[in-house]
């Protein structure tokens, strides 16, 4: 159950991601370290992997790389999340009436798309760190999470 909860947190972050942003070269992690735009999008996945994915049997080197990936993508997504909070007045979208959400759409859409792109990039970066066996296990965890959400009646896509 803990793994499913952690996977859920990772997937929620990935689902909210929007188009990837390329930070200035001075702030981007070194490519030699395996950190870059491809690692930002799945910040929730990276958070899960750095905090408690014991079932994946991560090595200390993998954990360190995943922590750097997580930090990098959190840095990209934090200003996007702050902008979304400003637009929504800090309210969750599910608490905003549909007509108001539609009015906010033009402002929210580019931010959400940027976060989604960042999440995909983060997932790609995570895959580059994991072995094929670990990638399969992570996919199984994510599938288990999606099935649990579907059973609970949650919207698809996370």
**Per mean pLDDT, which range of 10-19, 52-61, 124-133 is the poorest?**
10-19
pLDDT interval class at 157 (50, 70, 90) = low
CB 144 within 8 A of CB 55: no
**CA-based nearest residue to 129, from 53, 47, 64, 51:** 64
Average pLDDT over residues 72-96: 94
Give the span between the Cα atoms of 148 and 12, in whole angstroms: 13
Assigned token pair, 29: 């992690």
Which residues have C-beta within 8 Å of that of residue 60, sequence separation ≥ 6? Answer: none
CB 123 within 8 A of CB 129: no
Q: Is the pLDDT of residue 49 over 70?
A: no
pTM over 0.85: no
Average pLDDT over residues 148-153: 82
pLDDT interval class at 44 (50, 70, 90) = low
Q: Is the pLDDT of residue 118 over 50?
A: yes
More reliable by pLDDT, 117 or 21: 117
CA count, 13 A, side-chain hemisphere, 27 = 11
Q: Which residues of 115-141 are buried (b: 16+ CB within 10 A; e: fewer)?
A: bbbbbbbbbbbbbebbeeebeebbeeb
Percent of the chain with pLDDT over 90: 44
Q: Is the pLDDT of residue 13 over 80?
A: no
* Helix (H), strand (E) at residue 60: helix 60-88
Assigned token pair, 106: 């033009």
**pLDDT value for 145:** 80
Q: Is the pLDDT of residue 45 over 80?
A: no
More reliable by pLDDT, 73 or 2: 73
Helix (H/G/I), strand (E/B), else coil: 55 = helix
Assigned token pair, 111: 């931010």
More reliable by pLDDT, 127 or 32: 127
């Amino acid at each position: 159950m803990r793994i499913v909860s952690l996977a859920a947190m990772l997937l929620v972050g990935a689902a909210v991601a929007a188009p990837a942003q390329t930070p200035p070269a001075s702030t981007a992690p070194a490519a030699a370290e395996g950190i870059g735009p491809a690692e930002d999008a799945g910040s929730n996945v990276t958070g899960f992997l750095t905090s408690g994915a014991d079932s994946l049997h991560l090595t200390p080197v993998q954990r360190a790389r995943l922590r750097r990936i997580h930090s990098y993508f959190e840095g990209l997504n934090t200003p996007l999340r702050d902008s979304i909070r400003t637009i929504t007045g800090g309210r969750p979208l599910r608490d905003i009436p549909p007509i108001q959400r539609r009015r906010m759409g033009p402002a929210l859409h580019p931010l959400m798309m940027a976060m989604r792109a960042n999440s995909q990039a983060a997932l790609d970066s995570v895959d580059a760190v994991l072995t094929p066996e670990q990638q399969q296990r992570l996919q199984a965890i994510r599938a288990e999470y999606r099935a649990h959400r579907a059973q609970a009646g949650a919207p698809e896509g996370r």
